[in-house]
């Protein structure tokens, strides 16, 4: 909790001054019943109208001052909580963006989204309510008891004796509800993930008529949250009635004893009325305190989840200085590299060794899940090697600053993800200060210039979130243009042209080769026709490289490559 609350430091002034004004409000509020008792005992009993008016005016002034103090406290609480939420949200988002790809994958998009929104909102409310109410409730309770002792010690002892009972009730309720709030937040993550999956896959769901099945699945997840909420509700619902019952029992006991003392002449009518007012103030404060405790329990659960994210180490940025590169060394070299996605030790890549020279085009093929994407992601150090060494131009990848390493690499992923903005802004993503001529040339080489010019505003046409207003092939070509505009030393096309026909794909690869002849290109594809003319082809199977050579060499030496090649031929070609 401490790590999360440290972002309140810029708002220390509001956090200090706010409770001071709340304390002033409490002081004014606590004095009112005593003044009321004085009006009854001295003003009304003696029929002293000027005294009643004077003390009544004093009560009105104190009520106004208390109201103004409450407003000031509320404004300061709003400033502190909103500022704190903004500060924390920026910090958590910044930290999430600095996590390694593997750590981000471990958390998952849905839980990170929930933590960044719902959990931070819980902490914002907690800060605001703490400034406004955490000081008020204790001040009212303690102050009311003190004022009660001043009025009548015997009746005050009855009031004081009830406080340990309240403390026990609060402790039991908190103990029972705390783990349930944490579980509730986890179930919100699951619900968020289910919603994301269904919205993203709505076309697939409808294509396979899975609407009813997905509704049932969503209903189960939603019902699970509801049942957890019911458990929390059943526990917390007991608190307010139980508190009211105890306090009303105390009021009855006070009235019983008070009536006896009034008959004996040791207690006045005004004092018993003031006593009942103080008891009511304690009741209202305890009810507020109960809600604050529930809120605190939620906040601690949310703080723990946010702290888990913040305590996850950021991606290692590597050294600050750029080492000397050896331009005669292989552009990319793997030496006995292994990698595991999880802690179970199951290897996704196993003892991978290969070298790619500058200007060489490397084709990569293999079955789904054979390790192709993991292999190319390790070139950009998105995943750290579990063992072995990766070198770029003779330098170990860990000796390169991450920013410099990724500037050397152009990457077009399997899923062509575009961002909201114009076509030109999306292409400029890897080179923000690229000229219009550079943007157009990158689009021409990526075979995207034709359809871009046909769009209503050309390169200034807006792309909707995720590129939903473009076809799959159009998204892929803009993604490739984005990857090549910076003329990187290493270009990775991870199945980035799967939606293109063979002719467009061939023209695109020829344009890339003309653009920079010394560029090392990795092409991942499921289609042999796309990679068969590569300088070398790597065949992956179950995390191993089982074939390494040209198309003709692999046809003679690699059975898996032959099987893939033949499976993609027509019957006539196979014969």
What contacts 156, CB < 8 A, 6 or more positions away? 145, 148, 149
The distance of Cα 190 from the centroid of its chain, to the nearest Å, equals 13
Number of neighbours of residue 464 by Cβ within 10 angstroms = 12
Least confident range from 160-164, 359-363, 469-473, 569-573: namely 569-573
Structure tokens, 182: 């944490």
Task: Verify that 295 and 429 share a domain, yes or no.
Answer: no
Range list of H helices, 516-570: 528-531, 551-557, 559-567
Task: Verify that 171 and 302 share a domain, yes or no.
Answer: yes
Instruction: Name the residue range of residue 299's domain.
Output: 2-310
Residue 90: inside a domain: yes
What contacts 560, CB < 8 A, 6 or more positions away? 366, 539, 541, 546, 547
Strand-pair partners of 545: 540
Residue 281: inside a domain: yes
The distance of Cα 496 from the centroid of its chain, to the nearest Å, equals 29
pTM exceeding the 0.75 threshold for the entire prediction: no
Residue 502: inside a domain: no
Q: Is the pLDDT score of 159 beyond 80? A: no
The whole-number average pLDDT for the span 417-440 is 89
Residue 45: inside a domain: yes
Question: Cα separation of 137 and 132, whole Å?
Answer: 9
Which of 291, 310, 329 is the last residue in one of the domains? Answer: 310
CA dihedral over 103, 107, 110, 113, signed as positive or negative: negative
At 511, is the pLDDT very low, low, confident or very high (cuts 50, 70, 90)? very high
At 343, is the pLDDT very low, low, confident or very high (cuts 50, 70, 90)? low
Residue 366: inside a domain: no
Tokens 């003031």 correspond to what residue? 274
> How many domains does the chain contain in total?
2
Percent of the chain with pLDDT over 70: 97
Residue 495: inside a domain: no
Structure tokens, 362: 């490397």
The whole-number average pLDDT for the span 313-337 is 86
Question: Does residue 88 sit in helix, strand or coil?
Answer: helix
Longest dimension (CA), the chain: 121
Q: Is the pLDDT score of 573 beyond 60? A: no
Residue 426: inside a domain: yes
What contacts 45, CB < 8 A, 6 or more positions away? 269, 270
Kindly write down the DSSP assignment for every residue of 226-255, as one continuous string.
HHHHHHHHHHHHTHHHHHHHHHHHHHHHHH
Which of 289, 310, 331 is the last residue in one of the domains? Answer: 310
Task: Verify that 21 and 162 share a domain, yes or no.
Answer: yes
Structure tokens, 276: 């009942």
Percent of the chain with pLDDT over 90: 22
Structure tokens, 398: 């860990």
- Find, among 148, 167, 173, the residue nearest to 158 by Cα: 148
Residue, of 1 and 445, whose pLDDT is higher: 445
Residue, of 186 and 95, whose pLDDT is higher: 95
Q: Any idea what DSSP says for residue 358?
A: T
- Find, among 130, 113, 127, the residue nearest to 84 by Cα: 127
Residue 120: inside a domain: yes
The CATH number of whichever domain residue 180 belongs to comes to 1.20.1560.10
Question: Cα separation of 186 and 206, whole Å?
Answer: 29
Least confident range from 170-184, 331-345, 446-460: namely 170-184
What region does 339 belong to: left with phi over 0, alpha with psi -120 to 50, or beta?
beta
The CATH number of whichever domain residue 433 belongs to comes to 3.40.50.300
The CA angle 514-427-535, to the nearest 5 degrees, is 30
Least confident range from 96-110, 410-424, 469-483, 514-528: namely 96-110
φ, ψ dihedrals at 399, nearest 5°: -90, -5
Task: Verify that 236 and 112 share a domain, yes or no.
Answer: yes
pLDDT digits (tens, 9 = 90+) for 102-141: 788 778 777 888 888 888 988 998 898 888 877 777 777 7
Task: Verify that 132 and 278 share a domain, yes or no.
Answer: yes
Which of 456, 471, 487 is the last residue in one of the domains? Answer: 487
> DSSP E strands: which ranges in 325-371?
332-339, 349-356, 361-366
- Find, among 280, 293, 288, the residue nearest to 144 by Cα: 280
Task: Verify that 300 and 419 share a domain, yes or no.
Answer: no
């Amino acid at each position: 909790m401490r790590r999360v609350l440290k972002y309140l430091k810029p708002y220390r002034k509001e956090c200090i001054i706010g409770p001071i004004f709340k304390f002033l409000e409490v002081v004014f509020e606590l004095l009112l019943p005593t003044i009321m008792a004085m009006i009854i005992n001295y003003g009304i009993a003696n029929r002293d109208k000027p005294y009643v008016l004077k003390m009544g005016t004093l009560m009105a002034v104190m009520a106004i001052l208390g109201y103004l103090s409450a407003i000031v406290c509320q404004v300061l609480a709003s400033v502190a909580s909103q500022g704190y939420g903004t500060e924390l949200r920026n910090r958590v988002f910044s930290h999430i963006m600095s996590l390694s790809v593997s750590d981000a994958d471990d958390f998952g998009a849905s839980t990170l989204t929930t933590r960044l929104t719902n959990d931070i909102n819980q902490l914002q409310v907690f800060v605001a309510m703490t400034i406004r109410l955490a000081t008020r409730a204790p001040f009212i309770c303690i102050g009311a008891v003190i004022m009660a002792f001043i009025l009548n010690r015997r009746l005050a002892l009855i009031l004081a004796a009830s406080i340990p009972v309240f403390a026990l009730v609060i402790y039991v309720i908190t103990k029972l509800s705390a783990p349930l709030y944490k579980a509730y937040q986890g179930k919100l993550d699951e619900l968020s993930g289910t919603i994301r999956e269904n919205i993203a896959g709505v076309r697939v769901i409808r294509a396979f008529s899975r609407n009813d099945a997905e509704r049932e699945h969503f209903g189960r997840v939603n019902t699970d949250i509801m049942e957890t909420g019911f458990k929390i509700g059943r526990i917390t619902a007991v608190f307010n009635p139980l508190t009211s019952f105890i306090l009303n029992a105390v009021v009855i006991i006070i009235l019983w004893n008070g009536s006896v003392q009034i008959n004996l002449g040791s207690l006045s009518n005004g004092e018993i009325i003031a006593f009942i007012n103080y008891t009511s103030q304690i009741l209202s404060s305890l009810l507020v305190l109960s809600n604050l405790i529930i809120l605190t329990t939620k906040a601690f659960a949310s703080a723990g989840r946010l702290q888990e994210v913040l305590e996850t180490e950021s991606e290692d940025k590597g050294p600050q200085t750029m080492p000397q590169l050896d331009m005669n060394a292989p552009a990319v070299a793997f030496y006995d590299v292994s990698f595991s996605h999880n802690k179970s030790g199951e290897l996704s890549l196993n003892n991978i060794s290969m070298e790619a020279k500058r200007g060489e085009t490397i084709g990569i093929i293999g079955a789904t899940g054979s390790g192709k994407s993991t292999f190319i992601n390790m070139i950009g150090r998105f995943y750290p090697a579990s063992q072995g060494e990766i070198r770029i131009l003779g330098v170990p990848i860990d000796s390169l600053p991450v920013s410099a390493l990724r500037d050397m690499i152009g990457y077009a992923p399997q899923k062509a993800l575009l961002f909201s903005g114009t076509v030109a802004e999306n292409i400029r993503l890897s080179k923000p200060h690229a000229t219009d001529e550079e943007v157009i040339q990158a689009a021409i080489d990526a075979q995207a210039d034709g359809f871009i010019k046909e769009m209503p505003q050309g390169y200034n046409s807006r792309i909707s979130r995720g590129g939903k207003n473009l076809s799959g092939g159009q998204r892929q070509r803009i993604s490739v243009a984005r990857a090549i505009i910076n003329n990187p030393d290493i270009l990775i096309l991870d199945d980035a042209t799967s939606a293109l026909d063979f002719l467009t794909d061939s023209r695109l690869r020829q344009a890339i080769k003309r653009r920079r002849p010394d560029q090392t290109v990795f092409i991942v594809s499921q289609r042999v026709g796309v990679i068969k003319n590569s300088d070398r082809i790597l065949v992956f199977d179950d995390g191993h490289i089982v074939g390494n050579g040209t198309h003709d060499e692999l046809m003679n030496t690699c059975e898996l490559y032959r099987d893939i090649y033949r499976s993609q031929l027509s019957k006539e070609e196979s014969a």
